[in-house]
Amino acid sequence: MAPPRVLAMVLAGGAGNRLLPLTAERSKPAVPFGGRYRIVDFVLSNLVNSEIHSIYLLVQYKSQSLIEHVRRAWSISHLIAGHFVTVVPPQMRDGPDWFQSTADAVHQNLGLIDHHSPDVVAVFGSDHVYRMDINQMVRFHLERNADVTVAALPMPLEQCSAFGIIRPGPDGRVAEFREKPARPEPMPGDPGRALASMGNYIFSTDVLIDTLEAMRPCSEQDFGRDVLPRLLRTHRVYVYDLALNRVPGIKPYEDQPYWRDVGTIDAYFAAHMDMLGEEPRFEIFNPNWPIYSDNYLGPDTRIIDGEVRDSVLGAGSMIRGARINRSVIRREVVIEPDADIDECIIMDYTVIGRGAKLRRTIVDRYNNIPPGSAIGEERHPGRNQAAASPPPITIVPKGKRGSGLVY
């Protein structure tokens, strides 16, 4: 039997207001992550590793940075039919409106779906950090003759107001779906957790097209808030538990499964910390299921002197006698002598001046931190004392290209 034809529609148009100021000049999927990635690289890598190569990326707000990244990093061979990652801005074929909602973004591109005639359409978000074999979810969908399948996983109850919450029936069908409820209902037998939607869906193609066409008179439709509750009454909607998914190469010490919505500063920072340590919760390097990004052709990392503990150093960075602890340093960063970097994320093309002290700080790209600066330090007195809750995170917004002493 021939494998099912899968077309992916990746929703990458969100404004990302909760990640400001990191999203002041770029969309959320384009925000840098780890030593060399962008957030969008995770969903695209999961699709390509799952041998789903027909991918449309639906963009909208502040999309130029994302478009440039995809052009550099995601040029899939044009010699093989159906192998592409194509950026699609709002087409405005039915009027002057940009995408009004997640469902409207897909509706404006039904012509692309009709052109490819896939068996199923994967509608996935682009602002999560995770690994997933999407083919396993597709098989689950087809084996149950489902019309829609929603990916989900158990989450702590105190976090669930930010997600769509699913109450499954005994046969695995979705009995109830509530979008971001103020008081989430816990899972049966698990009072501390609820089953949260990941915002990733598999649709049978005819169901997706018919549903969006029927709902077209009101364009402001959201998949979680509007489309799924409507389909529950008339169609076979199933829930796929990410805990069932098996990705090769996952280490025993990693969280299984690992999935983080990095849509807030706290979550974004915490996901970086999850990559650190001898046994990290999320091992970013997995040769059996790699996370792809652009191929950097710059210099290697150089450590002239200093102390580096439990940190990630991006390519082309230079460390000159600094102390770095539990931090992520991206590429072509220069850190001068006697600088003290503790639990920080330092993005590309930044210079940290001599003797500067930074703690729990995110420094966006193209910054030049003056010598002797103290960022985060004054907000965290008594740094060696135990605290009831983590100290706040300081953010230095993106600087201007060329302002740093980049070599």
Burial class of residue 389 in the structure, from the number of CB atoms within 10 Å of its CB (0-12 exposed, 13-18 middle, 19+ buried):
exposed
Task: Enter the tokens of residue 393.
Answer: 């995170």
Find residue 128's DSSP bridge partners.
261
pLDDT for 220: 55
Task: Enter the tokens of residue 37.
Answer: 């990635």
pLDDT in tens, 356-396: 999 999 999 999 999 999 999 654 445 444 445 677 999 99
Binding site, by residue number, is 164, 179-180, 197
In degrees and rounded to multiples of 5, residue 292 shows phi and psi of: -90, 155
Place of tokens 């390519």: 315
Mean pLDDT value across the chain: 90
* Mean local confidence (pLDDT), 130-145: 98
pLDDT for 406: 33
pLDDT in tens, 91-110: 655 555 666 778 888 988 99
What does the DSSP 8-state code read for residue 72?
H
Closest CA to 179 of 195, 193, 166, 194: 166
Residue 216: pLDDT band with limits 50, 70, 90:
confident
Query: What's the CATH number of domain 302-396, 2.160.10.10, 3.40.190.10, 1.10.3720.10, 3.40.50.920?
Result: 2.160.10.10
* Mean local confidence (pLDDT), 276-304: 94
Binding site for alpha-D-glucose 1-phosphate, by residue number, is 164, 179-180, 197
* Mean local confidence (pLDDT), 55-59: 95
Residue 41: pLDDT band with limits 50, 70, 90:
very high
pLDDT for 91: 65
pLDDT in tens, 229-269: 899 989 999 999 999 999 999 999 999 999 999 999 999 99
Spans of all domains in the chain: 6-261, 302-396
In whole angstroms, give the CA distance from residue 133 to residue 268. 23
Find residue 113's DSSP bridge partners.
none
Phi-psi region of 338 (alpha: psi -120 to 50; beta: other; left: phi over 0): left
pTM here?
Answer: 0.93
Closest CA to 375 of 333, 339, 331, 334: 339
Cis peptide before 257 (omega within 30 of 0): yes
CATH annotation of 6-261: 3.90.550.10
pLDDT above 90 coverage of the chain, percent: 75
Task: Enter the tokens of residue 395.
Answer: 């953010």
327, 345 in Cβ contact below 8 A?
yes
Residue 1 has pLDDT above 90, yes or no: no
